[in-house]
Every structure is written in C-alpha cells, then in structure tokens.
Amino acid sequence: MKVVVENKIPFITGVLDPVAEVVYLAPEDITQAAVADANALIVRTRTRCDAALLDGSAVKWIGTATIGTDHIDLDYCRRRGIEVANAPGCNAPAVAQYVFAALNHLMPEGLAGRRIGIVGVGNVGSIVARQAERAGMEVLLCDPPRERREGGDRFVSLDEIARRADVITIHVPLSHDGPDATFHLADSDFYARCLHHPVIINAARGPVIDTAATVEALDGRLIAAAVIDCWENEPTIDRQLLDRVAIATPHVAGYSLQGKQRATAMIVDAFAAAHGIDPARLGPLPFDRPTAPADVILSPADIALYDIAADDRALRRDPDSFEALRNNYKYRSEQQPFNPSPK
C-alpha cells in the first residue's frame, strides 16, 4: 500500500512506515502525478482533494488531520467510492483558548455580565459556551441544524444574536448551498442588525464573513472590533481589513500542541481501522495522548498561556509571510502541565 502524507503534519513521520510505503510531500508537491499510484492520502486544509487531483488515481481513502473538510470534494469522493476521515473536535480547546485570550486582551475589565452569541454549537462552539458560562457571561446559542434535530428552547435565531450580543463568535463549517449556507453569513445586512456594536470573532473559515462588508461595518462603527484568524483568499489577505481589525492572526487559532497531537492520533487510528491494521503494528506516536476535547476545562491560567498579541504583531510586521508564519508556528500549549501536590 502506498500512502502520500503532507509533510507539514506533525508527529506522523515514521508511524505508518511499518505497514505501508509512505511518501512525505510538501503541499505544493501533492499533484495529480504524485498521487497517481497512491492508495491513500493524509493531508491538511492546504491540499484540495477533488477531480483535478484524484482523477485516474488509485486513491480510495483520504484522511485530513483537521476538523474541517471543505477542502475535500465530498460529492466527488462519494461517487468514486473514496472514504474520507477527519479529526472532529481535535483542536476545539485551542480555539476556545484563542477566543478567550482575544476577549481578555480587548476587555481587561472582565467578561462577567457580557452577552456572547455563539454561531455554530459543535465541538468548538460547545466548549466556547462552557467557558463563557464559567466566565460569568450570558450565552446565546445559534445552530439551526442542531435546533431542528434537538428541538427545545436552548437556541435562538441569528437575528436575535445580532440584536442582543456584545460579542459574536463564529464556529461553523463553510457551505455555499442549502438553508444553512454559511458563505458570507456575516454580511452587510447582518452587520446592520447588530444593535450592541459587538466584537466579531472569526476563527472558523475565512469566507463566512464578507470582507468588504466587515471593513464597512468597522468604518461605520456598526461593530466595535473584529478579531480575524481565518481570512477570505488566504494566504493573500485583505490589507484594508488587516489595518482595521483589533487582532489579526494567520489561521492559527487551533494550533496548540495538544490539538495537533489529537489530530494526528485520530487520523492514524482512522487509517488503521479503515485498512484492518492492528494498531500494535504501527510505529509509536511520539507523545502521550492528550485529554479528550469534551473533557477539557480551561482555567484562567490556561488561557493566559497564549500571548495572542505576539501572533498579531508577527502578522502585521509582514503580512506576506502569512503562510510561513502558519507553517512554522511554534505550537502553544492549551493547558498548563499537571503538577500534583507532593504527599
């Protein structure tokens, strides 16, 4: 079996080598020719998996060491019988750490009593909600697909989020079609409905906010501030938006050490399960598996571990280095080491 692995995925080198022929390639080198005789791919968001890459190839399994799958043409894969695996929730605690590091930076007077609107209540949004409640914030949840599935009165509409929230943080996948399309979810109409001049945070996907509309909303003081980690057209980011946002980072909200470890472990596990391989035959993972995302509770000290201002300064110094900053990021810790009290 031949497996092509994107060489920017941490902690995976050598793990699959005992059971497969593994070729490690830079994202730009994962081409149609390079994957023609591969049986499996393991990638990140920078590798677009679609007909242009996969037509004529032997690929039957794709693993992405990420939460999102919008870089994979899922319809095409279904038609071709290609199985796709991702790593849901792997970096959810890291994104929550990012959100609250940003809010603590912008609101040093404290978060208690503020009203936060969370758009998208999956793995990330659920942890953000839990942390917000611990911080004394009033939490508004918006997730139409979950609301339809679960019913009840715990969810509110996007319009209510716009009307009532002091902070709006977005944690949705990118989709262009259907009743729950998220492309340009935050557009000029949305901003016009924001009555409390909220802080807007996008640590989801770049195109869920309309760049031009966000610039206009900041200039028109419809919103008080914006925190942008995910950008339209990245790594080529809009300089007008960069100049206006309060915090700008190069798509690293989820880049914690523990998040990357979880992602690699989840994809390795999925690969072994899909191919009927005894995990004992794999090479060892070079880390102890971190706490499951749903079990993570971030303390104020955990949030303070992240110096978000440093990432902001690095991007502003050289916006053209967006991709290099992301690829060479020194993974932060999302939790302090556990040091039990001596007996």
Active site residues: 205, 234, 251
Q: Is 333 helix (H, G, I), strand (E, B) or coil?
A: coil
Question: H/E element holding 18?
Answer: none
- State the Cα–Cα distance between residues 99 and 336, nearest whole angstrom: 18
- State the Cα–Cα distance between residues 19 and 305, nearest whole angstrom: 38
Token representation of residue 137: 């914030």
> SS3 breakdown of the chain: % helix, strand, coil, rounded to 5?
40, 15, 45
Length of the chain: 343
Is the bond preceding residue 284 a cis peptide, omega within 30 degrees? no
C-beta separation of 5 from 35 below 8 A: no
- State the Cα–Cα distance between residues 159 and 142, nearest whole angstrom: 9
C-beta separation of 297 from 130 below 8 A: yes
Amino acid at 63: G
Closest CA to 9 of 77, 97, 112, 87: 87
What Å distances lie between residue 160 and 122, 214, 217, CA to CA?
A: 19, 19, 18
CA angle 221, 226, 122 (to 5 degrees): 130
- Spacing of C-alpha 47 from chain mean position: 15
